[in-house]
Amino acid sequence: MAMMRNYIIFLASLLCLTNLFLASSAASASDTFGVHEAFVQCLSRKSLPNEPISGLIYTPNNSSFSTVLQTYIRNLRFNETTTRKPYLIITPTKISHIQSSILCAKQYGLLMKIRSGGHDYEGVSYVADSPFFILDLFNFRWQEIADKLDDDLFIRMIIDVVNDTSTTVTNAKTIRSTFFALFLGDSERLLSVMNKSFPELGLKKSDCTEMNWAESVVYYTSFPAGTPVEALLSRIPQVLTHLKRKSDYLKKPMPIDGIEFIFKKMIELQTPVLTFNPYGGKMAEISPLAKPFPHRAGNIAKIQYATNWPENGVQTAEHYLNLTKQLFAYMTPYVSKNPREHFLNYRDLDIGINHNGKNKIKNYREGRVYGVQYFLQENFKRLVKVKTVVDPDNFFRNEQSIPVFP
Ligand X SMILES: *[C@@H]1O[C@H](CO)[C@@H](O)[C@H](O)[C@H]1NC(C)=O
**Interface with ligand X, residue 171, by CB under 6 A:** yes
| C-beta of residue 365 within 8 angstroms of C-beta of residue 324 | no
Q: What residues contact residue 351 under an 8 Å CB cut-off, 6+ apart?
A: 342, 369, 370, 373
Among 61, 116, 139, 197, binds ligand X (CB under 6 A): 61
Question: To the nearest whole angstrom, how small is the minimum distance from the Cβ of residue 384 to ligand X?
Answer: 31
What's the CA gap between 37 and 52, in Å, rounded?
17
Q: Which amino acid is at 225?
A: A
**Interface with ligand X, residue 57, by CB under 6 A:** yes
What's the CA gap between 83 and 134, in Å, rounded?
14
Site map 283..302 versus ligand X, x via CB under 6 A:
--------------------
**Interface with ligand X, residue 238, by CB under 6 A:** no
Question: To the nearest whole angstrom, how small is the minimum distance from the Cβ of residue 70 to ligand X?
Answer: 5
- The count of residues interacting with ligand X (CB under 6 A) is 23
Residue placing its CB nearer to ligand X in the complex, 54 or 338: 54
CA 302 to chain centre: 13
- Residues of this chain, 185-214, that bind ligand X according to CB under 6 A: 191, 195
Q: What are phi and psi of 294, to 5 degrees?
A: -100, -10
Q: Report long-range pairs for 109-118 (Cβ below 8 Å, ≥24 apart).
A: 110/35, 110/39, 111/397, 112/395, 112/396, 113/21, 113/86, 113/398, 115/72, 116/140, 116/142, 117/72, 117/142, 118/345
Question: To the nearest whole angstrom, how small is the minimum distance from the Cβ of residue 389 to ligand X?
Answer: 36
**Interface with ligand X, residue 326, by CB under 6 A:** yes
Residue placing its CB nearer to ligand X in the complex, 79 or 308: 79
**Interface with ligand X, residue 325, by CB under 6 A:** yes
**Interface with ligand X, residue 41, by CB under 6 A:** no
What's the CA gap between 264 and 38, in Å, rounded?
58
**Interface with ligand X, residue 166, by CB under 6 A:** no
Contacts with ligand X by CB under 6 A lie at: 36-37, 40, 54-59, 61-62, 70, 76, 79, 163, 171, 191, 195, 240, 322, 325-326, 329
